[in-house]
Chain A
Amino acid sequence: MGYEILFFWLARMILMTAYYLDEIPFKNVYIHGILRDKDGRKFSKSLGNGIDPIVMSEKYGADALRLALLANVTPGNDACFYEEKVEHYRNFINKLWNISRFILGKEGKLKIVDQKPQPKTMADQWLLGRLAETTNVVTEALENYKFSQAIDTLYDFTWNDFADWYLEIAKVEGKKEEILHYVLPMVLKLWQPFAPFVTQTIWEQAGAEDLLMVSSWPIIKDVKDKEASEFIASLQQVITALRTYRADNKIPPTEIFNCYFKAKNFVDEFADYLPVIEKLARVKLVDQEISGGSTLAFDGGILQVEQQVKKISPTEIADLQKYIVSLEAKLNDESFMSKAPEAVKEKERAKLVAAQEKLATLEK
């Protein structure tokens, strides 16, 4: 309950039950703060800053609203709430949907794997460890009313570990059906209390007949694997460093550049993961030093990367400018704008924004 009514409700609830029933009304009372707007003000009629939760749920879905309402909420403290927050979690709900859609594939059917599958690669071992860890943290957080921690942990696992890393690695390694059909149901179960609608919808569309709300909560013995987690952390470090390098040097995302690892032990250590590095960092690993390349250093004993940077040609900038002009013309064309479906127009606008951003980067 909110602390502003703590004493009214709590004290009298205790008074009446203690007097009349010789009982306490409840064992635990969780006190939450109040929600404030972006500027830290209370929501009030006179300020006109009210947000109707029902309008939000009709616009973004009830799940997104629930997450937005509870993210950053800690016992007894106030938290901020604003529409962009709901939008942010709507994007996450869509992400969860897309992850599921990808895993379920063309067939669209979940072949639930109940038993923990045997990991075949370091990445498998790491993911199963992270799932166990996440499950335990979320369980403990919910036992102790730490809503914000539960949501953040689960969000990070789902989007970052599972979608951005594991699924990308899985595309390279292949043959992941068993693991994915073990992990996805777990993820859906863990999200069910927070986002009951989308998880039930996926569950149902994936062919499950029972209701997810009465499926059993995951209990996983801690299988966190130190070796695998250290290994994947190093791998992530390499790939992230290469991605940062690409961004810093304005190398277009489509460009595959050559890379040479100077450290001898590197190739041995990452032997099985060289194709993953190539694919995720969009590089080509060569076994000879590259003359004229630059050196990139990062910690962890994997010392150097060299690559060739392609100079940006003046024509590239000119081409991009022409492209932008043509997109702008299209978006100003009344006959196009009146006929085209909103989705198409949306796409064209996005193209324009992307092109403008790219141009700005090149011109820097």
Chain B
Amino acid sequence: MSELEKNYNITNEGEIYKKWEESGFFNPDNSQAKKVFSVLMPPPNVTGILHLGHAMENSLMDIEARFHRMKGEKTLFLPGVDHAAVATQAKVEAELMKQGIKNPRAELGREGLLAKIREYAETSKATIIRQIKRLGSSCDWSRLAYTFDEKRSAIVFELFKKMYEDQLIYRGYRTVNWSVKGQSTLSDDELEYIEEESTLYALKYSADFPIAISTTRPETKLGDTAVAVNPDDERYQKYIGQTFTVDLGLDKPLTIKVIGESEVDMNFGTGAVGVTPAHSQTDFAWYQKNKEIGLIAVIGKDGKMTDNAGKYAGQTVEECRQNFVAFLKDKNLLLNEEKLNHNVAISDRFRDEIEVLPMEQWFINVNLPIPGKNKSLKELMREAVTVGLNNNKNKKVNIVPERFTEAYLKWIDNLRDWCISRQIWWGHRIPIWYKGNEQMVSEENPGEGWEQDPDTLDTWFSSRLDIQHASRRRSKNLSSRYLDADGL
């Protein structure tokens, strides 16, 4: 033996990692210990390279894994990678556009574009795994869960089928978030909010309409079917329940009913808001309680005004806004304009402003009692962090730090039915097949004449269970043991 080298040489770190990996100790199956510790890596997206946040997260998970392994526990640090449907497709399409392919979907077709995305995803996946290794994470790579591999696809199908049969998944006509640029629905989770200066307009539908309303989107007023006021608002109480007919210069006059909604802020603007069921999630919820008011879509998937907008049809929302405000001014119906900073929702991946549109899509019903459970999904999500699943204390999820539990519960309260169908192509295809008026759920083509739903599933739908599945697939007996895990 001789003296330690003069300086620590970081260039040997790759060699050391290899030694660890080859030793087999990253795999808990090689440990005889009884006590189990496992930690699940929230799978990074295959959209490029590891960022600082990933590096931090991986470091802290690895510290826990190494600590528990040294304490003699059967330790699993379970790695995963997410195919990240919208994020990945948006990224590849943007790259292709930079290379001069103006409309990748039209020019390459479904298979052609998917091939490009697959190629990119595979490269990213390899890069990300190499980078995770570079930081020393002691993951069991034999259990790597890629949300788009065969095993994960099989479980996505099983889950979809069960939810479909339990009627938790349904086809419905509801308002969704729509990215014009991405030509797809997006879930609330795929939005980002940016503060923008806009104008708050106070206007009246007609000279003899008794209530003025406030809005930042006057063009959507062409699709209004009601006015909502606070039932406690003495100014407007007397009008609740009355219906008015107003002429905004469209092909048909609008019928506006005054409804009482306690959510309306009496002190904001005029204290009354026009209800546009087709283009606002809140208004849609009010519409569901007051179906008689009806729903008129005035904006289309292309971000332009529809035929319902009469003379404005074909105009972009901005053009229509300008023209309609001019019309209101001309008719003396515009009462006030003031500047206001407010949050605008944009697509976190396609980066365009979101339009709320009513559409036929696939949804998960979060309020329906689950057959055999007599509880809704919302109740399950609430129960798991409060009293424990099925009132079992041992099945309670602890959130560290605790203060986040409250925020989580509030989020659950506000959760709407979750739109799971996307019009992008990178993802698990919806396993629903159609033939004439028939419809069935199937993993494979059920036979001649059947056509599959063209949409794909929200990536969040598929990135949930795969991890549980990864633990289960080894051996049925191990499943419950590895479920005894920490998520970091």
Contact = CB atoms under 8 A, between A and B. Distances in A.
B483 interface: yes
B154 interface: no
Given A32-B57, A101-B4, A50 B468 contact: no
A14 B71 CA distance: 29
Interface string A1-12: 111011111111
A70 B3 contact: no
B282 interface: no
A60 to B, nearest CB: 7
A172 to B, nearest CB: 23
Contacts of B138: 196, 213
A321 interface: no
A142 interface: yes
A30 B163 contact: no
Interface in A18-43: 18-32, 34-35, 43
A105 interface: yes
Interface in B158-210: 158-159, 162-163, 168, 189
A192 B138 CA distance: 12
A216 to B, nearest CB: 6
Contacts of A194: 63
Interface string B446-488: 0000000000000011011101100000000000100111111
Interface stretch (A199-207, A249-257, A284-292): A199-207
A218 B134 CA distance: 27
Contacts of A108: 1-4
Contacts of A213: 20, 25, 66, 69-70, 138
A1 B56 contact: no
A1 B488 contact: yes
B373 to A, nearest CB: 8
Given A12-B460, A211-B23, A18 B384 contact: yes
Given A66-B136, A147-B63, A211-B19, A25 B398 contact: no
B64 A69 contact: no
Contact of A142 (B64, B468, B480): B64
B327 interface: no
A69 B163 contact: no
Contacts of B485: 25-27
A35 B52 contact: yes
A240 B411 CA distance: 55
B20 to A, nearest CB: 6
B121 to A, nearest CB: 19
A52 B412 CA distance: 35
A109 B1 contact: yes
A273 interface: no
Interface string B1-16: 1111111111011001
Interface in A311-331: none
Contact of A215 (B40, B70, B159): B70
Contact of B59 (A69, A142, A189, A214): A69
Contacts of B64: 142, 145, 193
A132 interface: no
Contact of A35 (B20, B53, B70): B53
Contacts of A147: 60, 63
Interface stretch (B214-222, B290-298, B389-397): B389-397
A23 to B, nearest CB: 6
Nearest to A79: B56
B465 A104 contact: no
A265 to B, nearest CB: 44
Most buried by A among B13, B53, B415: B53
B399 A31 contact: yes
Contacts of B389: 18, 22-24
Contacts of B388: 24
B56 A193 contact: no
B404 A6 contact: yes
Contacts of B399: 10, 29, 31
5 contacts: A2-B57, A10-B408, A12-B461, A18-B389, A97-B8
Interface of A: 1-3, 5-32, 34-35, 43, 50-54, 57-58, 60-63, 65-66, 69-70, 73, 75-76, 81, 93-94, 97, 100-101, 104-109, 142, 144-145, 147, 189, 192-194, 196-198, 200-202, 205-207, 211, 213-217
Given A14-B380, A14-B381, A65-B59, 9 more contacts: A16-B159, A23-B389, A29-B398, A50-B52, A51-B52, A53-B50, A53-B54, A196-B66, A214-B25
4 A-B pairs with the lowest CB-CB distances in the bound complex, closest first = A53-B55, A61-B10, A193-B66, A26-B487
